[in-house]
Amino acid sequence: MDKPLRILAIVNLPWDPRFGAARVWIEMAAEWSKAGHVVDKFCLTDAFPVATASAPMAALRLMMFPFRARKFVRRHAERFDVIDALVGTLPFTKKSLRFKGLLVARSVGLFHLYEKFERTAAKRWPPPSRGKLLGRIFYSSFNKRARAASQASVRNCDLLNLPNSDELLCLRDEMKSAKAAVVLPYGLSPARRQALRDAAAAAEVRWRKKKVCFLGMWSTRKGAKDWREIIQRIRTHVPDASFIFVGTMTENHNVLADLDPAMASFVEIVPQFEPDELPQLLSDCAVGAFPSYVEGFGLAVVEQLAAGIPTVAYAAPGPRDILQDRLPELLVPPGDIAAFSEKVIEIFGNDLGAYQALGDRSAETAARFSWPDIARKTVDQYRTRLEEIASSACINPRGDANS
């Protein structure tokens, strides 16, 4: 069992690190390959090589993806010891896949928790328009099929790989599932962590500049509806505070519509960036702010911490696991905009020495989340499960050991 593993990664996104979910497999695969394992992948562009700009067609492709992934697995099943697939992308039994190795369903955000948030958000922030009837019917069907596929993935896998402890509690207490599961976080490569730390301006420079950064896609789930009040509250007490929103993945006017067009003079928006540009984008930021209501993990928090940026976050799935042991003072109750804003204001109110000490603790916390360590622990878990599968295969249907 010490020989290199042959691992297939399956994700229904392009193999591009700018997509958060795909990035998990890309960076994990790099560490596995360095350790001598053989890693292959089947992603969205493998299933559909020709790009589409049509939203309905993109949704249809996501619905069709599991069947193309199944076809690929059936054709190449003997090549792999482990299939590490995004939950919902391979919702089939191992028998139907003709696969005898370890089938892992990896969560990058458990569908049950995300749906809970969506139901709450629909009541708290009802959309101005429900859209066209045909569109509502189509996307309702799409969501039902996606939910069914996710549930089937959980039932049929050998092991669930979860990124945070809240998802394990949800699996046991709310979903009432006894499926074998392991909680393994995400991390940064040593080179990535060092680049973020090296690019950071001196603590005094950042402390005096009073720039607040948010790193992530612009969406209600990640706090888009909270930011107008957060900015207003912070600027009331820190009039020279400025803000940068990095990686919003939308047009600037959509961000300013949720904020206030008048805020454009002290708000910088960077819709997209290349991964190696991030250290410089964060270099002069003083405080991170991450008002997300639910995450799979929250690599954006770890990246900001690695740059020595104290990052305030809602105590939500994902960020809670990152901060609660070493920096619990940076967590506030989800949706408590007043407490969130006060925490940012409090950091700005610290003297330079206290600010620098908090930045150092932030960097030390980020160092706990290292891809080489996580990749090794993941392989150890997979080897253990493979041994269990091999042992059970030696038992015949009557329960006697085969010779």
Q: What is the pLDDT of residues 160-216, one digit of tens each?
A: 999 999 999 999 999 999 999 999 999 999 999 999 999 999 999 999 999 999 999
Burial class (CB in 10 A: 0-12, 13-18, 19+), 275: middle
**pLDDT level of residue 29 (50, 70, 90 thresholds):** very high
Task: Write out the DSSP string of 316-330.
Answer: -TTHHHHHTTT-GGG
Written as six digits, the tokens of 337 are 């905009």
Look up the CATH number of the domain holding residue 355: 3.40.50.2000
87 and 195 together in one domain: no
297 and 335 together in one domain: yes
Residue whose structure tokens are 């042991």: 325
Question: CA 78, CA 8: separation in Å to the nearest integer?
Answer: 11
**pLDDT level of residue 252 (50, 70, 90 thresholds):** very high
Which domain does 168 fall in, by range?
6-187+370-393
pLDDT for 397: 53
For the cut 90, the answer to whether the pLDDT of residue 1 exceeds it is no
Distances (CA, A) of 33 to 5, 7, 40, 55, 376: 10, 10, 10, 35, 11
Burial of 114-152, coded b for 16+ CB within 10 Å and e otherwise, reads beebeeebeeeeeeeeeeeeeeeebeeeeeebbeebbbb
pLDDT for 128: 76
> ∠ CA(68), CA(3), CA(402), 5° rounding?
85
pLDDT for 195: 98
318 and 360 together in one domain: yes
Question: CA 312, CA 343: separation in Å to the nearest integer?
Answer: 7
For the cut 90, the answer to whether the pLDDT of residue 398 exceeds it is no
As a whole number, mean pLDDT of residues 121-130 equals: 86
Tens of pLDDT, residues 133-148: 666 676 678 889 999 9
Tens of pLDDT, residues 297-306: 999 999 999 9
Written as six digits, the tokens of 70 are 């199944």
For the cut 90, the answer to whether the pLDDT of residue 132 exceeds it is no
**pLDDT level of residue 399 (50, 70, 90 thresholds):** very low
- Tell me, yes or no, whether 308 lies in a domain: yes
45 and 106 together in one domain: yes
pLDDT for 104: 98
Question: CA 67, CA 40: separation in Å to the nearest integer?
Answer: 18
14 and 45 together in one domain: yes
- Tell me, yes or no, whether 123 lies in a domain: yes
**β-strands 267-270, 287-290 pairing:** unpaired
Query: 10 Å Cβ neighbour count for 349?
Result: 12
Task: Output the CA torsion sign for 282, 285, 288, 292.
Answer: negative
| One-letter identity of residue 100 | K
CB 331 within 8 A of CB 319: yes
**pLDDT level of residue 393 (50, 70, 90 thresholds):** confident
> How many structural domains is the chain composed of?
2
Tens of pLDDT, residues 52-102: 999 889 999 999 999 999 999 999 999 999 999 999 999 999 999 999 999
280 and 383 together in one domain: no
186 closest CA partner among 333, 306, 38, 299: 299
Question: CA 356, CA 288: separation in Å to the nearest integer?
Answer: 14
361 and 378 together in one domain: no
